Amino acid sequence: MFSLVIHGGAGTITRAAMSPEKELAYKQALDQALQVGENILREGGTALDAVEKVAISLEDCELFNAGRGSVFTAEGKHEMDACIMRGDNLEAGAVAGISNVKNPVQLARAIMEKSEHVFLTGQGALEFAKINGIAMEPDAYFYSAFRYEQWQEAKADGKIQLDHTEKKFGTIGAVALDQYGNLAASTSTGGMTNKRWGRVGDSPMVGAGTYANNRSAAISCTGHGEFFIRGVVAYDVACLIEYQGLRLQEACEKVILDKMVKLGGEGGLVGVDSQGNTAMVFNSEGMYRGMVTHNTKRTVLIYSDSN
């Protein structure tokens, strides 16, 4: 038995603002990432490997605000964050405010497995990456005309944008249960367009944007990070399952559709519990998402009306 659920960001994602070509491109990228993870899990691989490789697939795609597709900061740079966590022993690795790392989630896993720490940032994290042979890329690798235009628009308006003018929360993530009964979660992001002062959102924070515990669930969030940090969203869902006995879907809806709405936080999450149940819950107009299990085919969705 296995389950895998992924997301590529949530927000004001509507058919009216989406060309058929772009919709197809998003769906193909999500399906490709799902297939990567599905192949690992079907062949007896671990949930940890699956969520890392899925995240790498999405980080390598320019469509998503993570890795190669990361947005520009106010200084015209790219500052990326990522986290990975395993549910069997609660080990985790996280990184924030890094540049030129091809796959931040790979660095997060290296931090988890090759250091005594959980969370590294900035220059120190880059030194650790180089020591451990993590692939690096020049600034040009992370450049896209689309992201550059977003940045120019944000600068002209004097605003910090969540991803683009359609208000998309650009994060990617994956959660999985493997045949050994272990859960894992990963999340990666390029943050906010035109962000300043080393701002970090919820994505790399254990318990806020990412969490995995075999006793409850694996959760990866996407949304307005400040609210998800304040709501400790990923851990909150897991707590409702472990301590109050709520079902996964019920716990996710309570946090995203009730608590976060009252707090003013827009976004969503994907989750899988220790029994393999899955959830994709959001309070925005859409969320790039997909899932596959041992007995279901890959499904990719974008809009709030389930297609």
Interhelix angle 47-59/20-42, rounded to 10 degrees, is 160
Instruction: List, in sequence order, every beta strand (DSSP E) within the chain.
Output: 3-11, 80-86, 92-98, 119-121, 168-169, 171-177, 183-189, 210-212, 217-223, 267-273, 278-282, 286-293, 296-303
List the one residue out of 180, 171, 185 whose CA is nearest residue 37. Answer: 185
The DSSP output letter for 276 is -
d(C-alpha 123, C-alpha 109), whole Å: 17
Whether residue 95 contacts residue 125, with contact meaning beta carbons closer than 8 Å, is answered with yes
Residue tagged 């069997």 (tokens): 88
Whether residue 54 contacts residue 61, with contact meaning beta carbons closer than 8 Å, is answered with no
Residue 55 three-state SS: helix
Residue 237 three-state SS: helix
d(C-alpha 107, C-alpha 112), whole Å: 9
Q: Is residue 73 flagged as an active site residue?
A: no
Candidate list 171, 189, 278, 293, residue with the active-site label = 171
Q: Which residues are catalytic?
A: 171
